[in-house]
Structure 1
Amino acid sequence: MPDLSSLRNRPEFWLACVIAIFIVALSLATPNFLSISNFVDLTESYAVQAIMATGLFVVLIAGGIDISFAATASVAQYVAALLATRFGLSPVLVIPAGLIVGTLLGFINATLVHYARVNSIIITIATMNVYFALLMYATGGHSIYNLPEWWSDRITFLQFETAGGDLVRITLPIIVMIASLGLCWVLLNRSKTGRQLYAMGGNAEAARRIGLNISRLQFFAYGFAGFMAALAGLVQANRVGEAVPNALYGTELSVLSAAVLGGASLLGGVGTIGGITLGILMLAIIQNGLNLLDISPYCFEIITGAIILASTSLTALSVRSRTRSRLVEEAPNV
């Protein structure tokens, strides 16, 4: 049994407590909230963002940040849709092609971050705009509605009816989300590469001195983020039955909010996949609760913005505290 005092020092513990409070409050406020069908619908609606969050999380662990994942997902989705509709290629070719496109865009980010030596948030904001602008220019903003049946058909793994008569379906997005979270957990907790990513994110200079290949790790982190973004784009097209160029544009803040809510540090080297899962769940509950209570969706934007602001403020204070402590330790005794 884990020690309660150690749990109190973990952000996941407090986040779980806050989630429990929200669940109780919303259950009392609206009877439709605490139902299996609502929970499953909630999970599916946030599955795509959860998949993107796993890729972003790996970059955050490595000490970087990637804001371009939504644009990467849109580009990969559209390229795959073109291959499927215009050229009639099979899923055996279309799906890997989309994933490769996303991975390559991630590699471009890694190349610029590593060789330009510019802060990754600046690089990925720039590439986000470039990727999305090129996509909109090339496509004219037109959606692709005639996706093949193998892609657009709703894939259901489990279906049952509740006592209240609600139909519950466990669909492909939910399964892919669970698989993505599991893959990310194995990568970060059971692999040598995962341990190296934590080490690099904690102290890149110390990681370099002990012989870690920083460039390889950066390419892996950003390539993985691009891969997961592409996977999210393919799943999004399956959910809505079409490829929409700007469908995922604007989700960057909510995904980043989920990561920092779950305990991922903008300084790198800190965070768990369990925390990310709780962060996604927290945002999903808040948005769902606002919808059920018929509260303006702009309130959700205020909440996500406040989370980012609080996280960056705490990060800045942490940096100042560490710098002040180091200067005190290094100062000569008088």
Structure 2
Amino acid sequence: METRRWTVSEIDEAAQILKEGGLVAFPTETVYGLGANAMISCSVRRVFDVKGRPSDNPLIVHVSSFEQVKDYVTDFHPYAQKLVDMYWPGPLTLVCKVKPDLFAKEVSAGLPTVSFRMPDDEDTLLLLKKAGVPAVGPSANTSGKPSPTTYEHVYHDLHGKIEGILDDGSTKIGVESTVLDISDPEQAPMILRPGAITKEQIKQDLGIEVSYDRHLLKTSEAPKSPGMKYKHYAPDTEVLMVKEQDWPAAITWVKENHLCAGVLAGPAVCDKVRADTAATFSYNGNSVAAATKGLYAGLRALDETQLRLDVILAAAFPEEDLGVAYMNRLKKAASQKYFEG
């Protein structure tokens, strides 16, 4: 199969293919998604097959407006409209209880809930409007590997496996959306997956308390949201997280053990360690926002270098505000392992 590269001028063709059941990767402000018509079972099954994704992991449904969601949901949470007004389009996914037998059964992994998101990307919103159907959109990559933040990342993983990719350059945020469970109108909203919309931001903007889901899933349990159960975002190369005060010891360890090491960090760190390591990937700034945007691209670049690295040392950040989402992804990439000098 030839995988097409579409621009916005060719969006009618992409929309028709999506509507009829083909697989179309699309950009969002978070990462690139692998789109399929959420009403067609064989198309949704192809998403799982192409990605190698576990079938008990539910998918997020992407829509072009909140009006679409109103056709599917049985009972809205009291804060649903306020959340939409505040954050849509944007990196917030809402888990809602839905009417039965509307979506392909593979979308919800057997649960009575479906996750909805309106992405903040003009080209993709136009694609969804022209297609006229809701679209699943998990990250457009091989399951478990770092998510794609550019057209090139998607093409690397999925060329020859999908019909095409809508190219809109690099994504703005770099990690997947916040997933907020509002499926029970009687319960307070709960964050199932952290993202750019933080717990603190929701409290400040809406004046409501939300919590993080700390429940550890059993093997037999189906997760309510992507990103809750399986190891994700991991390159083939071993990754170790490094706290700010541990960089000197980490570099000494690399040199003493004659390791071929890569470093993923901001310029403040990379400039200091470049002479003592095999490769560096410096994101554009030293802030956690810059780190978040560059995380997946950096993991991919260092993992795919021809140097065959022994280890990737990645900068850790405090787990507060956006740092919660960043560290959630990095911890999974590193299998929870820190450098310990």
Range into which the TM-score falls when normalised by the shorter chain:
under 0.3
Q: Which structure dedicates a bigger proportion of its chain to strand?
A: 2
TM-score scaled to structure 2, two decimals? 0.22
Q: Which structure dedicates a bigger proportion of its chain to helix?
A: 1
**Rg larger in structure:** 1
